[in-house]
Structure 1
């Protein structure tokens, strides 16, 4: 029998890692929305998240605004952007150019998504990519061609995961097979779409691990404080929200009570995911910070110790912004 390796001899090397924290933002649609967004960015930055994701419209409809927001985040804040990128309706040449542009401004994380099919039913352009798996492989090719330029930071590629059946999928097993294929193509981690029931994340983890998915699967959690938003997201996700929560939100006497109920439900959902082994929490903010920070305050996540210089930089930015 061979002797144990040096790594195996030091069991403390596998101690529990800090919990990752991230937020989702979307590019503003007006000057007023931009002003509000930057207030939110300042508030979220004070929590020192690991990254913030920036959404990307269908077929790149808001590409310029998204890239502008990403560039400002890199230049004017301490935040690390994770750029969403969709592939439906775009050719490999177009997407390679966009990937190169993102890398040139300093992006080192990309969330590779298929994107929505055209609503008018039009056929995609000839030669355009159809699946997130193809986009992952393209990102890795662009990365390989730029490997010398990226010695100070390779590209982390994320993908979407589905705690409940994707609306276009035949079943949940197929969704896991797709996730496994994304992993094989080079995905580093996954972020889940919204879910409303505490057991759904744990069920996804069980199915994914049994199938051979080993990448981190981070639960995406939205503050469940808006009855209208919860209803709409339930329709888009194809899953009914908890009827008891919906009844309580509808019966609340005022917004303060509704917010208290929704924040408590969100914290319960996030804690259930953490108990099931979630490596982090990704909060869908809808460009609003108040409810997200309420959730974060009550979660008490174990966060990594940061260098004093980084915390000082965040504090200085807060002073300048005030």
Structure 2
């Protein structure tokens, strides 16, 4: 029998002793992002990753999209191959950059005719060689207009972007939330967040979304860290904060890729388990076309692939 004096301390210690990985999650949904390959070697890496992650039965897999014509063609080719050669549901990225409405609509209709029913609708980054986004003359001005245009063409499942730590082009968090609300009101089915590294940042963002009447699922985007130097560049362009403890974790590991991968898996796995404890059941992984880290994190989250089942 535990004495009444000190019982709270015993309870607190028991709570702290409970492992984040104690519970096997059986109610989690995942999705993965890939980018179209530029070389035969990159294509081989991509397809090995796709086949590995296919075993985890994701809700969908998305393929990124650039402003250049060759990039658009690679995206379409990759999406079509996923549709034809795998059991996966592909979601094609689409942006407003560098094209008129008619040109974008033609791409959308081509996807529809190919059997693609899921789109990730994005405003897009500034065109190459520029530092500020400018709408294309005769094009969709922003993500909300693009979502409305998609809705006018077909009954797509539409995902849009969200920024827990504010998009760098938005003057305030309120302006950013108003923009997300416009995209949802235009017909978006869900929002997928930019990557972040503090669960509290995501949960605070959910509270803000609720206060703005944003009532679609807001799926956390998870980026396993493969290279901290590259990560700093990514974070600078999208407004994601890099906590000092994360830099400390990767200090001195530039020339130790195996150790770096172990640290990366541990950091990301802890974060997704904390998100799970907070009620999150849907996760979107930015794979960078590499399967190993994402597969390991999903395994630690509780997901078992078909190749692991007895």
Q: TM-score range by the shorter chain?
A: 0.7 to 0.9
8 Å Cα contact 1:158-1:191 kept in structure 2: yes
Which residue of structure 1 aligns with residue 147 of structure 2? 136
1:13-50 Cα distance to aligned partner (Å, 9 max, x none): xxx99322110000000111111111111101111111
1:74 aligns with 2:83: yes
Q: Identify the range of structure 1 (39-48 vs 237-246) with the bigger mean alpha-carbon deviation.
A: 237-246
Which portions of structure 1, spanning 4 or more consecutive aligned residues, are displaced by more than 3 angstroms?
119-125
Give the match for residue 260 of structure 1.
262
Deviations 1:78-111 (A, max 9, x none): 0110110001332221111110001111111001
CA contact (8 A) 1:88 1:131 kept: no
Looking at structure 2, the residues matched to 173 and 56 of structure 1 have their Cα atoms a distance apart, in angstroms, of 28
Return closer, same or farther for 1:124/1:280 CA change in 2, 3 Å cut-off.
closer
Distance 1:126 1:138 in 2: 16
Corresponding residue number in structure 2 for 1:159: 160
Q: CA 1:39–1:302 in 2, change beyond 3 Å: closer, same or farther?
A: closer
Asked if the contact 1:59/1:115 (under 8 Å) is kept, the reply is no
Corresponding residue to 1:285 among 273, 277, 287: 287
**Does the CA contact (< 8 Å) of 1:49 and 1:79 recur in 2?**
yes
- Select between 53-62 and 161-170 the one with higher mean Cα deviation: 53-62
Count of equivalent residues: 281
1:41 corresponds in structure 2 to 50
Task: Map Cα deviations across residues 124-181 of structure 1 (whole Å, 9 max, x no partner).
Answer: 54211110000001001111xxxxxxxxxx4101100001011010111211111111
Distance in 2 of aligned mates of 1:157 and 1:99: 12
Which stretches in structure 2 are left out of the alignment for 5+ residues? 1-24
Structure-2 residue corresponding to 1:271? 273
Aligned to 2:189: 188
Partners of 2:285 and 2:238 lie apart in 1 by 16
2:125 counterpart residue number: 116
TM-score, length-scaled by structure 2: 0.84
Question: Structure 1 residues 241-250 or 100-109, which shifts more?
Answer: 241-250
Task: Tell me, in whole angstroms, the C-alpha distance in 1 between the residues paired with 2:165 and 2:144.
Answer: 20
Root-mean-square deviation (Å):
2.3
Matches of 2:134 and 2:144 in 1, distance apart? 20
